[in-house]
Amino acid sequence: MTDHPVRIGVLVSGGGTNLQALINSQKKGELKSGKIELVISNRSDAYALKRAEKAGIRAEIVSKKKLGSSEAFEDRIRSLLDENKIDIIVLAGFMAILSEDFTRAYPKRILNIHPSLIPSFCGKGYYGLHVHEAALEYGVKVTGATVHFVNEIPDGGEIIMQKAVAVHEGDTPEVLQKRVMRLAEWKILPAAVEKVCAEYASK
Ligand code: GAR
């Protein structure tokens, strides 16, 4: 058993609707085995930062451009995670690939949400709207979302949860993205984080 509540750090880059789903789940008492203690954004203009602020969560900006290298970028993130004693890291729309060094430091402690049913439409180059563009181009009739542990292979870690979503005739990437978020991502991300935190707490 850990001797403290599980501390969650969320890494974001954009709108932060998945971060919001985690905040809402925590407010409802569904996400209860861990607490969001820190949000880190690699972009200063991410709306996710406003969501963190509104919820009273400490938020930090870490810019690769400003720091000058990937090493300095990851070092800064690691220091913030250490300083804030973060146990579980959630990539919620975090659009930077983390190095093998980084992912090795947190085995089974980093989760990622990906907007497709892995192993379809995942890996390098598949992020955000591109994933839905690729799904529509291929012509799949079912897509969805996946929460998985992060290891050194992009989108290659162990799957924790998945949910399927139907593709409709005439869908645009934007329409499909919204449906996948609403029907899958915002549900399975909080559920998977709760599951992992509960397991972590009982260790
Ligand atoms: C989400 O659809 C998430 O699954 C995706 O980016 C979006 C972020 O939205 N992540 C990836 O593509 C990671 N490979 P949000 O900022 O509103 O949560």
pLDDT tens, residue by residue, 152-203? 999 999 999 999 999 999 999 999 999 999 999 999 999 999 999 999 999 8
Q: Homologous superfamily of 6-201 in CATH?
A: Formyl transferase, N-terminal domain (3.40.50.170)
pLDDT digits (tens, 9 = 90+) for 35-74: 999 999 999 999 999 999 999 999 999 999 999 999 999 9
The DSSP letter of residue 134 is H
* Candidate of 49, 51, 98, 113 to mutate for ligand 1, largest count of ligand atoms within 8 Å of Cβ: 113
Number of C-beta neighbours around residue 166 at 10 A: 12
Distance CA 122, CA 114 (A): 8
- Partnered with residue 162 across adjacent β-strands are 146
12, 13, 17: residue to mutate for ligand 1 pocket, most atoms within 8 A of CB: 17
**In which element (H, E) is residue 80 found?**
helix 70-83
pTM: 0.97
